Structure 1
């Protein structure tokens, strides 16, 4: 089975086509340069990617030329699990390769690691256009390699092979690259999508349960803002998806795995493509990402990215309930699914002061507006721009009560802020 999604977008200054316009000013001549940059890339689900009988990876790394030379940047854990299989596959395709092995995790998602990749690219002699670097690992690894590729010779192509669930449904399929700077999440980055992303669910067989849940959090994000059917699949099969490592098969839960993966990727790409360069700062996929950057960095290394996102989604869902956007029953279902997936809804770093700073930084990031997505029912969302600190503190209080008695949460009625 192969699923291919081709992403196409354009970036322009002000004109529908490439042109140079000259005009006069009071002080002399002036020129305006207008250009289009067309971007097209493929996202493909390719089971058994390292099987020599599967030509998908060979097509990505050989480009029809033999022998081919490729630099492969690979996560250290992935290398220990799949390094020999990868080497055998490449040897069968007559590919000469060098490995750059990175112990990729959030604490090393910094510019020093980007420079390590750039050093490897320079030492290998990566050409500018026709020998894409291969990035194989989780979201941290693909973000780092993407940033390095965007900087090296001002844009070098690369191919992503995400090996974590969060990489397959989020970090590995968009246009953004990034690393952390000081206490800020992804503060440095570029827009530089890979020419191809190859998704093999088989890699999830060796992913631990916590990292599977980490990825399911980003899938839950898509479900809550735009896909009620996906939410129902998570509610019914969430625990089984973790137990069975998201592997497709014959029974209902195994059959749900592929459907969940496909719907998550499709939903994410549907939101990204019309706004790939983020000219529009009202983005539904920012649900769960208004408070979570500050929470994740403050809790580092205790929380994974998806776990911090889930804390944000829980807080945002309570805020939606207080505003009458979610009923008591709907909020209860949202929190129940989070509990079934063993995802956190609160963390000790979530103080009112941290939430205040988090929202203030988000407002700067969104150019002076909150543009805060809140769920409206399950499978829809709205934006708000007038969230108050009082509402945030009331929501934190409710989540704290939920943590103390998760089976019988104290759910306040709409606009009953409890303060």
Structure 2
């Protein structure tokens, strides 16, 4: 026994963890990068059964059935719902449909939750069963916002059916809804898997909604692309629903330059780490106008009024020549857009500028055209300068009215 005991392994002492340092200040720093990959495709004939672009984007091959949730604007459903259903059926895409309004009044948290409830009811898998949003910018914002929140993020596809959606709202990564008296106050940055753009859908739009989208194209021309501006001048009397849905090479160039220009500005600054953004041109004062105007203004109409003010500010500072300032206002007006509004007064401008400074982290960062096709940022616009710009627009409208009477 003694011999056996002598050969037993020695007992191990229990491990006692070293105590943490006795101090109250401990810091851990985490570093991570989020990679973003998504495609924007300009593709005519998206719903032709022989066109596999949309099917492949939805993860379908036409052999194995797949299941998807489609959230579609009610008006778009009336016009194109049968075509979408025939296409999805041809490619063996089994669809759960959610039809809802895409009007600005529905850009709310309640309707975001409504979309999330449709996702839950569809029993979607978290990664492989994408949501497809079909409609204008409002609906795509709501669907994107809901997709970013549901299970902390599920994939979704955008199919914008308005000109505004195809060249602006449907191709970035911002989502959001209105809250209280503010535009897009609640939202996220959440990229779609893909955005599919087909000008075919623009044929059914009315002229006012085409002009609404043209406002954002004029924006890109004024702050980034002089050739686009000149092309818009050349085509100013032909910017119609029929033209945008056609194969006119000049219209295709307008579309492609607008989309490419927007994406070029967005890509290096997707999360807006840099708050001096030239694509904010026309978006300093317009959010307040858009919410307060009666009767209601479309987004692009409010942006047009803001752009006209910015043209006046640039002219007053000598950044734009009188000739180029007149050309800019002429293009806005010929496109069927307003350059003034009764609500757009000095009181609204001063209040909007205060909120803009908060949104842009303490500085105005107002983009102005420095010549046509270039941008300068200013941080020292005064109330007196805003008042003078309003007078400039009023006087110019009076001159235009007098010229019309003489004619």
TM-score (norm 2): 0.91
Match of 1:142 in 2: 140
1:239 counterpart = 2:237: yes
1: CA distance, partners of 2:400 / 2:66:
56
1:327 counterpart = 2:321: yes
Contact 1:62-1:95 within 8 A present in 2 as well: no
The alpha-carbon deviation at position 26 of structure 1 amounts to: 4.7
Alignment partner of 1:35 out of 13, 32, 36:
32
Match of 1:264 in 2: 258
Contact 1:204-1:245 within 8 A present in 2 as well: no
Contact 2:69-2:96 within 8 A present in 1 as well: yes
The alpha-carbon deviation at position 95 of structure 1 amounts to: 1.1
Secondary structure of 1:362 counterpart: helix
The alpha-carbon deviation at position 193 of structure 1 amounts to: 1.1
The alpha-carbon deviation at position 405 of structure 1 amounts to: 3.3
Report the CA distance shift for 1:91/1:392 in structure 2 as closer, same or farther (over 3 A). same
Structure with greater proportional strand content? 1
2: CA distance, partners of 1:311 / 1:103:
27
Q: Which runs of 4+ in 1 moved over 6 A?
A: none
Match of 1:348 in 2: 342
Q: Deviations over 1:243-271 (max 9, x none)?
A: 6341343xxxx221100000000000000
In the alignment of these two chains, the number of paired residues is 383
* Pairwise CA RMSD: 1.6
1: CA distance, partners of 2:206 / 2:51:
26
- The correspondence of residues 60-139 of structure 1 with structure 2, limited to 5 A, is 60-64=57-61, 66-139=64-137
2: CA distance, partners of 1:403 / 1:71:
49
- The correspondence of residues 12-411 of structure 1 with structure 2, limited to 5 A, is 26-64=23-61, 66-242=64-240, 244-249=242-247, 254-299=248-293, 302-406=296-400
1: CA distance, partners of 2:188 / 2:103:
19
2: CA distance, partners of 1:407 / 1:376:
28
The alpha-carbon deviation at position 25 of structure 1 amounts to: 9.7
Report the CA distance shift for 1:36/1:331 in structure 2 as closer, same or farther (over 3 A). same
2: CA distance, partners of 1:148 / 1:243:
31
Contact 1:293-1:308 within 8 A present in 2 as well: yes
Secondary structure of 2:110 counterpart: helix
The alpha-carbon deviation at position 302 of structure 1 amounts to: 1.8
The alpha-carbon deviation at position 217 of structure 1 amounts to: 0.3
Contact 2:206-2:241 within 8 A present in 1 as well: no
Q: Deviations over 1:301-339 (max 9, x none)?
A: 520000100100000010000000011100100011011
> Which moved further from structure 2: 78-87 or 103-112?
103-112
Structure of higher CA gyration radius:
2
2: CA distance, partners of 1:212 / 1:279:
32
| Alignment gaps of 5+ in structure 1 | 1-22, 410-419
The alpha-carbon deviation at position 30 of structure 1 amounts to: 2.9
Contact 2:319-2:371 within 8 A present in 1 as well: yes
2: CA distance, partners of 1:300 / 1:119:
33
The alpha-carbon deviation at position 63 of structure 1 amounts to: 4.4
Contact 1:247-1:258 within 8 A present in 2 as well: no
1: CA distance, partners of 2:77 / 2:366:
39
1: CA distance, partners of 2:385 / 2:200:
43
The alpha-carbon deviation at position 46 of structure 1 amounts to: 1.0
| Alignment gaps of 5+ in structure 2 | 1-19
Contact 2:239-2:335 within 8 A present in 1 as well: no
2: CA distance, partners of 1:330 / 1:406:
16
Q: Deviations over 1:38-89 (max 9, x none)?
A: 0110000111111101101111223458211100000011000000110011
